[in-house]
Amino acid sequence: MLKNLASIPIRVLVTGSRGKSSLVRLLQAGLCALGIPSWGRITGVLPREISPAGERFIERTSGGHVEEMRWWLEQVPEEAGAVVLENSAVAPELQGLAGRWMSPSLVVWTNARADHQEAWGPGASDAERVLLQGIPDRVPVAAAPELLESGFVREELARKRCSLEGSFEGGLCTRDYTSGNLSLACLALSMLGLDPAFARKAMESLPPDIADFRLVEVDGGLLASAFSANDPESAALLWGSLGWKAEETVLLYNHRRDRPMRLMAFLPWIRSWAWKERLLAGDFALRGTSGFRRVKLNAEGLAALVRSGRRVFGCGNVAGFPLPFLLERRVG
């Protein structure tokens, strides 16, 4: 453990395929509401620090690097009562670094869904195997209900001598992502010996984050912004929550050249629906994209696409043109 963290009693490491940033935000807000000065770090396209003073962007001179976690942990002030870190490592061999640097008192595990297929392998079981490498031995784990359904996860955590909990009385343990995140945050606070009832209002009042799933209206048209749903299971859950008809909806997939297998994973789900139109934007893929119309978009182009009463479901990746579009329309 880094020396400056030794005096901080609450050290929470958040891991998973999806939803890590949301859990960091919820826990940081909940801990502060309980009178515990807390610092959190979220990563992704826009890495940020969250503290009692508010939010600040972490400026990068180059792309994201695993060492950024250690650098940030070394900046946490002595007066912190809690630190909440999102494990941003992707490579399997780097998963354990965050736990080594912070020696967490609790791990919060959001889910294990097929993602980063180039590094992890194609399936959810591969995600479980990799993410387990980032959980230190003998550390309690607060996990989403879906992880308790995995015999492999239960067996491996037992082998590591990690206690595992995955339900919370009075919470909303559902697969709906907003209530599920809140329930998991309440469970984590309870496992830390805190009363989540006093923190719940602060957590529920958090405005959506930049790339959180939401409906964005543009001159009568609606964009269902699911760009941060990087796996087909998450995208399917969000799509199902809308109640929209596919034949009245334009499917927009934003592609990244460095994530070619992500598009391959999405294709069966995309092709299972009779969309009004299928659009492929971003870095153009060369294979497996029959049935799509390829479009070049920027933030203004996305706004124009949504106008005129259209319904658009956007998914795949938030990096690129969706990000400035969403930043301009950030809530809160």
Q: Could you give the C-alpha distances from 126 to 86, 119, 158, 323, in angstroms and in order? A: 20, 10, 19, 29
Q: Which long-range contacts (CB under 8 A, 24 or more apart) does 153-159 make?
A: 153/112, 153/128, 156/132, 157/132
**Ordered alpha helix ranges (H), 116-245:** 117-120, 124-132, 145-148, 151-159, 177-191, 200-204, 232-242
Q: pTM for the full model? A: 0.87
Tell me, what's the pLDDT at 19? Answer: 86
H-helix or E-strand spanning residue 326 = helix 322-328
**What pLDDT score does 169 carry?**
45
Q: Per DSSP, what are the bridge partners of residue 255?
A: 282
> Domains of the chain, with CATH numbers?
3-204 (3.40.1190.10), 214-328 (3.90.190.20)
Written as one string, the DSSP assignment of 225-275 is EETT--SHHHHHHHHHHH---GGG-EEEEEE-TT-HHHHHHHHHHHTTS--
Residue numbers in the chain where pLDDT is lower than 50: 169-175
